[in-house]
Amino acid sequence: MHTSQDLRMAEAVRLDAVSKTYGRGDSQVAALRGLSMSFAGGTFTAVMGPSGSGKSTFLHCAAGLVQPTSGKVTVGGTELAGLDDTQLTKLRRDRIGFIFQSFNLLPALTVMQNITLPLQLAGQRPDKALIRNVVQRVGLNERLGHLPAQLSGGQQQRVAIARALVTRPAVVFADEPTGALDTRTAASVLALLRESVDTAGQTLVMVTHDPVAASYADRVVFLADGAFAGELHRPTADAVAARMTRLGAWEDDTQRQNSQMPTGGRY
């Protein structure tokens, strides 16, 4: 059994020269351009960048939900490209948690059933104490018997967060996990995510647009135009906001330069 210290020493996720393109010919769009980065075990990283910078594509490639056009993704020492569909599904089920921006809840299941579904699919016995703690921290105690259609968008987001945490995955990928939440609930959820890293040694990679959310992380990685554009360690909300402001201006300059290239030259 791995200890929290073992997990912290390991490299949890690694991307080597990962590119992802969509479309063909003149309509081809490069979402990622030779992206290389790594995430140590037991760390919390926020990923930020202007709209269209490739954040969500990066997250989906890193989690094995989308196959890169080129390059290599490794999770916990396992190269994803070497796995067949069954092996990849098992790895995602057993070792990866994903908090979807679109929630991805099953409409016919109650809140509690949605939360515990990954445990049932994996044949794991529910940790009732953990489930109670997570449910309380995300503020769902009074909603456990409700169906998703009876919940607000923010409540559905909280269900998605709880579902990703109760399996205690080694790595949690989160796509704008606080985007639909009010300020107080967002702070509680971010504290819970921070705690999952500090006490359980989990690795958290979170895409966000919010400098306050990013300030909970150990490191902020910035993307622009599908490529690495810098990072901050021990970030503050003010420092993140300032970097994002400069990054937005840099992105505008890059787009202007690319718009002057011949058709297809950008890619």
Q: What is the pLDDT of residues 134-160, one digit of tens each?
A: 999 888 999 999 999 999 988 998 999
Order of strands across the sheet that contains 29-40: 29-40, 11-22, 70-75, 78-79
Which range marks the domain in which residue 77 is found? 11-21+28-248
Backbone angles phi, psi at 7, to 5 degrees: -65, -35
CA distance 55 to 256: 21
Q: Which pTM was predicted?
A: 0.84
Q: What are the tokens at 118?
A: 């990954």
Q: What is the pLDDT of residues 28-77, one digit of tens each?
A: 899 999 999 999 999 999 999 998 899 999 999 999 999 999 999 999 99
* Coil, helix or strand at residue 18: strand
Amino acid at 146: H
Helices (H), 144-267: 153-165, 183-200, 211-214, 237-259
In a domain, 132, yes or no: yes
In a domain, 261, yes or no: no
In a domain, 4, yes or no: no
Q: Tell me, what's the pLDDT at 249?
A: 53
Those residues whose C-beta lies under 8 Å from the C-beta of residue 227, and which sit 6 or more positions away, are 32, 33, 34, 35, 54
Those residues whose C-beta lies under 8 Å from the C-beta of residue 21, and which sit 6 or more positions away, are 28, 29, 30, 31, 69, 267
In a domain, 258, yes or no: no
Q: Tell me, what's the pLDDT at 251?
A: 52
In a domain, 92, yes or no: yes
In a domain, 255, yes or no: no
Residue 264: pLDDT over 70: no
CATH number, domain at 126? Answer: 3.40.50.300
In a domain, 231, yes or no: yes
Q: What is the pLDDT of residues 168-192, one digit of tens each?
A: 899 999 999 998 888 988 998 899 8
Mean pLDDT of 108-130: 92
Q: How many domains does the chain have?
A: 1
CB 178 within 8 A of CB 189: yes
CA distance 161 to 213: 15
In a domain, 3, yes or no: no
